[in-house]
Structures are given as C-alpha cells and as structure tokens.
Chain A
Amino acid sequence: MPIIKDGAFAPDPWVAITDDQPIPATGDIWVSLARLDSDWGTLCSHAGELGVEVPNTTKAEKLKPYLGKLSLILLPFPAYTDGRAYSLARLLREEGYIHDLRARGNVLPDQLQFMKQVGFTSFEVTDRFPAEVWTKAAQHISAVYQEGYTEPHAARTAIWEARRARS
C-alpha cells in the first residue's frame, strides 16, 4: 500500500512485525498493541525506531506509559464511517505525542483533511486515486471554526482567532 507523508507519496521505511514473527535486533519496526504489552521487556530497548498499531477501541490512557518510546502509532479505520480514530488521534496529541501518527484501513481522499486536522501525519492509502486527487481533497477548506484544529497545509486559518485578532 502506498504511503502519503508530507503531502506526497513516499516510501515506507517501517517494517511490520506480525505477532508470530521474531523481533529483529535492529530496524524500524511496528508491532500490535498485544505484542507491545507482552514483549515490552525486549521492545523497550529496541535498537531501531518502534511503532505500534492500536485498535480504535483502545483508551488513550493505556498507551501513556509507552508514548516516550514510540515514534509511530497506527490507528485503523475499519470503515471510513467509523470515526473513533479521530478522537483517539486527538487525545494522543493532547497527551503530548509528537511523532508520526498514521491512518490506515479505509482511508479515502475526502477524509484526508479532517484526519490531518486531528493530528494524523501519514496515511496508508489505496492506489485507486492519483496524487493530485489526494492533494486537492486535503486542502479544500482553508479556514475552520474549531479552535486548535488547524493544520499548516489545509485549514490554515482559525476563524474565531482571526476575528479576535482583527477586532
């Protein structure tokens, strides 16, 4: 599956390690949350970068102890109408997580802007749509009403703040 990062298709440097695979000594790897729990003793001192995929029913508090070691969190969209990961992403950002947050599953161009606004930074997408469709869809709305949901590439202007600054 292609990855979109920083507004363009990009290679995926991460290696997914399934629950039945051994954990390699080096390399940038991501594992399931169950694996993170069970093998934390090994994983906490992993030589490469570490990531985790988290079900969208997970409570954000559950991830808190791991956050300092993680540089990729993948949140799934089992269906693009299942919006739980929007809140979960937002909560992780509010908890201070600053590294890559990736949306995977049923990720479509028309949801890209909202995903960026709540804090997603990379996207595992289908190859059905060319790059320009993704780019265009992600920046349709340039100004938004919600405080704290702006994003440098889309939704640049926070309307309420802009109004207050002007008055």
Chain B
Amino acid sequence: MYRYDEFDHRFVAERVSQFRDQAARRLSGELTEEEFRPLRLMNGLYLQLHAYMLRVAIPYGTLNGKQMDRLAYIAEKYDRGYGHFTTRQNIQYNWIKLEDTAEILEKLAEVEMHAIQTSGNCIRNVTTDQWAGAAADELADPRPVGELLRQWSSLHPEFSYLPRKFKIAVTGSPHDRAAVRVHDIGLRMHLNDKGERGWEVIVGGGLGRTPFVGVTVRDFLPEAELRAYLEAIMRVYNLYGRRDNKYKARVKILVHELGKEEFQRQVEAEYARKPATNVELDVAELQRIETYFAAPAYEELPKFSTGFENARIQDKEFAQWVKVNVAHHKQQGYAIVNISLKPEGGIPGDATAEQMRVVADLGRRFSFDEIRVSHAQNLVLPHVKRDDLYTVYIALKAHNLASGNIGLAGDIIACPGLDYCALATARSIPIAQGISRRFADVKRQEEIGPLKINISGCINACGHHHVGHIGILGLDKKGEEYYQITLGGSSSDDAAIGSILGPGFAADEVADAIEKILDTYLGLRTGPEETFLLAYRRVGEKPFKEALYANH
C-alpha cells in the first residue's frame, strides 16, 4: 500500500491549514457563502438538506486498518455513528458541522487521508478495480498509476476550475470492474508483444442527464506518457468545454459536439505542440510508487484447504456465502472476500462505526492489513487465506456483514436520494430497501443469477441507473415521487446505456414491477447460464413491456 513520505505529509498538512483559514474567514463573514462554496467543495464539504456533508477520499478504494479505525472514530465523534460508502469508493458523513471540519481533516491527515477534490469542478478521486493486485485475471496492478494520477491531479493549478467535475477510472484487468467506459477518462491497461504496459485512453463516457459510452482516442499509450497526454486532454477540455450550461459542461458533451475525430485531432495537436515533457521524471516517480504496491508476503499454500472444505460441508450457509461472495485470487491458497454492505432491508453502502472496526480488525489479522471499497458500495478483504475463510465469515456474520448477495438482486447500488440530498427529486433508499426485502431469499437471488439493480434519486444519476441491468430513476411529478425503469444497461466490458421501458411507477409499485420483470426473465431464459442481461439483449424489451403494462 502507498505510504506518505514527508512531502505528502507536508502537502496535506498545508492543505488542512489552508482550509482552516478559509473556514475561519467564512465563519467571520469575510468570505461570502458564494465565494466560500467552491473552496469548501474542493475539500469535499457540501451543504445538504439537513447539515453539511463531508466526503473523504479513499484513493483507488484502498485503505488499511488504522485508516478504517479512524473513519469509525470520525463517525462516532462527529457524526451519528455511521458512514456511507459511495460509488466513487469514498466515504461520506451526512451530519457534519462546519466548525468541526478542519479538526476532522487534521485527524484524517494523521492517518494519511484527506478530502481533497472529492467534490467541485476539478479532477475527482481516481477509482479502480476493487480487486486490484489480487484478481486472478489481472495483467498488472493499476494502483501505481492511480496514485501517480492522484498526486498529479491534487491542487493542479491549471485544472482546478474546470467547466465541470472530472472523473478518472483505471483498470489493469481485461474484465472491467472499474466502469472505465462511463468515465470522463477511462484508462485500460494492455500489454504489447514485448510485455510492456500501455494504456487505452477512453474519453467522454458518463452518466447524468445525457449518458454516453466513451470513445477510445488512443489504443496503446506508452505508460511513461500517460500524465503528459492527460494534461493535453485536460487543457483542450478546460479551454473549450462548454461553460454556458452546467448540464452540457462535462467533457462527454465536448466530445459529442466536436465528434470523436475532431476532439482527437485537437488533443493530438496540443500534445504535439507542448515542449518536450520530462517523461523521465514520470518514470522515476512511477517506479518509486510501484515499490509500495509490491505483492504481500504470501505463504506457499496447497491448493486444497482441508479446514475450508470441511467447514463448507458442515455449514451450508457458509458454503452459499462462499459461492457468491468469495472470488478467485491470483495466489494459490488465497481468496478475495467481498463483504456486502447490503443486508436485507438495509441502506446500501452504510456501515456503523462498529462494523468498520470489525472489518479493520479482520483486515489486520487476515488480509495483510488491506481493505478495499468497491464502486458497488461494498467492502473487500483482498488477500485472505482459504484456511481463514470460515473464521472471517463467522466474525462477519456476528456483525450483520455476511449477506451472501454480491452481484445478485440484493446488491443494489443507490444514491442517498431525497432522504439526504439537496438535488434529489425522489427517495432512493426506501426503494432499495423494498426491493432488498422482496428478494431477501438468497436461494431466489441465486436462481435469478447475476443482476445489477441501480437506483438514482434524480437525473444526475449518482446511483448509476443508466448502467444498471435494471435501472430505476426517481422523479417528481406534481409533488408525487414516481420511478422510471430502464433495462439493459451495463458498466462492464459490454458497456451500454439502458433503455426506458415505459411509464413510471409509484414508490409502492416498484418492487412489484421488478418482480414481474424478473419472473418474465425466468420464464423466457434458455437456461440458468443465460443471465438477465444476455436474455434481455436476445429478446429485447417487448416481453417485459407486455408483462408490466398489459393491464394498464
């Protein structure tokens, strides 16, 4: 894992002191709220419906036990005893006081964390595959590049007042778990014949009001040139991205309006124009960072773990949980444990301080002190010995952290919605809870198979509804909440934007509608191997439309 050196420590400490000064000037009235707003946003502080919300960065979703313990401490001391893990692999606290913020940032800096650029019209927290460094199918760990980009984008003097927010995702695996095609910039690692790393550069993807799948502007950019090339993209966007309408200000609109070829031409012209960049410096820095991401000291283990196999036979629930929540690790004898933050009827992504401490402790004891946050709002222990899986499971179960629904109907992504958010037009959380209760039976979820249900409480799409296999968008019609359903979206290798099925549903009709859609799917699939998404792509929307609207 990356560790701060004295420069990183100094940088974050200075940023905290800068924010402390800014907050003091706001509290004294020297700064107007309008002047303070972008400053606080660039430090992750939002003014929400009921209070300030503070979003803390978890760069590329990786943290250690000490950091997780600190997040628990902040939840208890400054919030109401819980936090909410987000789709950008961050955590946010919903009940923060402005007066406490600088102190919280100091407590975070002590454990090498910050809230820099978790909001605002700047480059946001870089996200990646939650299984990075552990996944069996990975080419190489993408996190060194994630860290390089975190540093490069932190307080970038030229790119801190962009037309709109800017999100970057990186993946080192051919199976995309980082949704790189629906980011402002998505980076996907490839290897050439010589085994050298290069990056496919995808620009202009995104969700929100106008969803787009991004376009590839470079197939194989040498890794050493990555930072310089991204600078060229950022400069074209900063100069020519629209600023007249905030709903048309994301880079996806620029790419769309110019067209891929013209956008690409402008970026290449800018890249060619710049004086020779100091690529050696990037290489040196990347090599320095890479040493922090060396593989942990794995033990040589046999393929077969007797303890694990026995536990699997004796405890059926455990066996079921393993089947759904445990993934293949690149190292023999180890496994990736996915911890669902989606208990039946729960709020997706929420964890109590106690649960955070349990995960921190398990990470220390069983996963080389490493924890991950996934963009699906779950947690991961990336390197657990198969011999230890049952012990881990029992501990998780004792704290309501052993829901066996990763990747299934209960694993719902949802934004905070109208319960918290000032932008929302409808509630998301109760809809998620309703669906989660309806499909509580794990057997039933397993029968339905891989499924992504994503819920957003407004058109800004923080719940990624466009790329849910089933997407739900909460809207407001004359003071009544209603929910539009889309089908066929995906954020993975086969990225696609879902299509709206038909008229929306009232809040209390949504779970029924989802059930009808899934019953229809079960009735028409060729077999269990034909997933919901595959079946939908084969048969189209017609049978689902008929099932939902036949009697309307």
Question: For B277, what are the chain A residues with a Cβ–Cβ distance below 8 Å?
Answer: 147
CB distance from A111 to the nearest CB of B (A): 8
Question: For A146, what are the chain B residues with a Cβ–Cβ distance below 8 Å?
Answer: 152, 156-158
CA distance A144 to B12 in the complex (A): 11
Q: Is A9 an interface residue (CB 8 A)?
A: no
Q: Is the CB of B154 within 8 A of A86?
A: no
CA distance A74 to B458 in the complex (A): 41
One of A84, A114, A140, A159 near B7 (C-beta < 8 A): A159
Q: Mark B224-237, 1 if CB is under 8 A from A, else 0.
A: 00000000000100
CA distance A110 to B271 in the complex (A): 30
Q: Is A71 an interface residue (CB 8 A)?
A: no
Q: Which residue of A lies closest to B22 (CB)?
A: A110
Interface segment out of the listed A30-38, A46-54, A75-83:
A75-83
Q: Is the CB of B11 within 8 A of A145?
A: yes
Q: Mark B35-65, 1 if CB is under 8 A from A, else 0.
A: 1001100000000000000000000000000
Q: Is A39 an interface residue (CB 8 A)?
A: no
Q: Mark B262-280, 1 if CB is under 8 A from A, else 0.
A: 0000000000001101100
Question: For B285, what are the chain A residues with a Cβ–Cβ distance below 8 Å?
Answer: 160, 163-164
Q: Is A92 an interface residue (CB 8 A)?
A: no
CA distance A149 to B285 in the complex (A): 17
Q: Is the CB of A140 within 8 A of B21?
A: yes
Q: Which residue of A lies closest to B15 (CB)?
A: A141
Q: Mark A82-121, 1 if CB is under 8 A from B, else 0.
A: 1110111011001000000000000010110111011000
Q: Which residue of B lies closest to A89 (CB)?
A: B158
Q: Which residue of A lies closest to B162 (CB)?
A: A83
CB distance from A42 to the nearest CB of B (A): 31
Contacts known (A83-B159, A145-B154); A94 close to B274, Cβ less than 8 A: yes
CA distance A167 to B159 in the complex (A): 29
Q: Is A19 an interface residue (CB 8 A)?
A: no
Q: Which of B488-532 contact A (CB under 8 A)?
A: none
Most buried by B among A136, A145, A161: A145
What's the tally of chain B residues with a CB closer than 8 Å to chain A?
40
Q: Is the CB of A88 within 8 A of B239?
A: yes
Q: Is B306 an interface residue (CB 8 A)?
A: no
Question: For A162, what are the chain B residues with a Cβ–Cβ distance below 8 Å?
Answer: 7
CA distance A94 to B235 in the complex (A): 13
Most buried by A among B7, B18, B35, B282: B7
Question: For B239, what are the chain A residues with a Cβ–Cβ distance below 8 Å?
Answer: 84, 87-88
Q: Is the CB of A81 within 8 A of B161?
A: yes
Q: Which residue of A lies closest to B161 (CB)?
A: A83
Q: Is the CB of B161 within 8 A of A80?
A: yes
CA distance A144 to B154 in the complex (A): 8
Main secondary structure of the interface of A (DSSP, over half): helix
Q: Is the CB of A114 within 8 A of B157?
A: yes
Q: Is A17 an interface residue (CB 8 A)?
A: no
Question: For B5, what are the chain A residues with a Cβ–Cβ distance below 8 Å?
Answer: 163
Q: Is the CB of B161 within 8 A of A82?
A: yes
Contacts known (A110-B22, A141-B11, A141-B14); A160 close to B160, Cβ less than 8 A: no
Question: For A137, what are the chain B residues with a Cβ–Cβ distance below 8 Å?
Answer: 21
CA distance A149 to B156 in the complex (A): 9
Contacts known (A87-B238, A147-B278, A149-B157); A81 close to B121, Cβ less than 8 A: yes
Q: Is B423 an interface residue (CB 8 A)?
A: no
Q: Is B448 an interface residue (CB 8 A)?
A: no
Question: For A145, what are the chain B residues with a Cβ–Cβ distance below 8 Å?
Answer: 11, 151-152, 154-155
Q: Which of A129-157 contact B (CB under 8 A)?
A: 129, 133, 136-137, 140-149, 155, 157
Q: Is the CB of A140 within 8 A of B18?
A: yes
Q: Mark B1-34, 1 if CB is under 8 A from A, else 0.
A: 0000101101100110110011000000010000
CA distance A141 to B157 in the complex (A): 11
Contacts known (A86-B161, A114-B160); A147 close to B7, Cβ less than 8 A: no
CA distance A80 to B39 in the complex (A): 11
CA distance A72 to B152 in the complex (A): 30
Q: Is B288 an interface residue (CB 8 A)?
A: yes
Contacts known (A140-B21, A167-B288); A82 close to B152, Cβ less than 8 A: no
Q: Is the CB of A83 within 8 A of B7?
A: no
Q: Is the CB of A143 within 8 A of B10?
A: yes
CB distance from A58 to the nearest CB of B (A): 10
Q: Is B537 an interface residue (CB 8 A)?
A: no
CA distance A82 to B160 in the complex (A): 10
CB distance from B250 to the nearest CB of A (A): 15
CB distance from A118 to the nearest CB of B (A): 5
Question: For A141, what are the chain B residues with a Cβ–Cβ distance below 8 Å?
Answer: 11, 14-15, 18, 155
CB distance from B5 to the nearest CB of A (A): 7
Q: Is B258 an interface residue (CB 8 A)?
A: no
Q: Is the CB of A163 within 8 A of B7?
A: yes
Q: Is the CB of B155 within 8 A of A108?
A: no
CB distance from B353 to the nearest CB of A (A): 32
Question: For A129, what are the chain B residues with a Cβ–Cβ distance below 8 Å?
Answer: 30
Q: Is B281 an interface residue (CB 8 A)?
A: yes
Q: Which residue of B lies closest to A162 (CB)?
A: B7
Q: List 5 A-B contacts (CB under 8 A).
A: A87-B158, A110-B22, A159-B11, A159-B151, A163-B288
If A133-B30, A145-B151, A157-B7 are given as contacts, then 6 extra A-B residue pairs at C-beta distance below 8 Å, sorted by A number, are A82-B243, A84-B239, A84-B243, A90-B235, A94-B274, A159-B151
Of all A-B residue pairs in the complex, the 3 with the closest CB atoms, nearest first, are: A83-B161, A117-B157, A114-B157
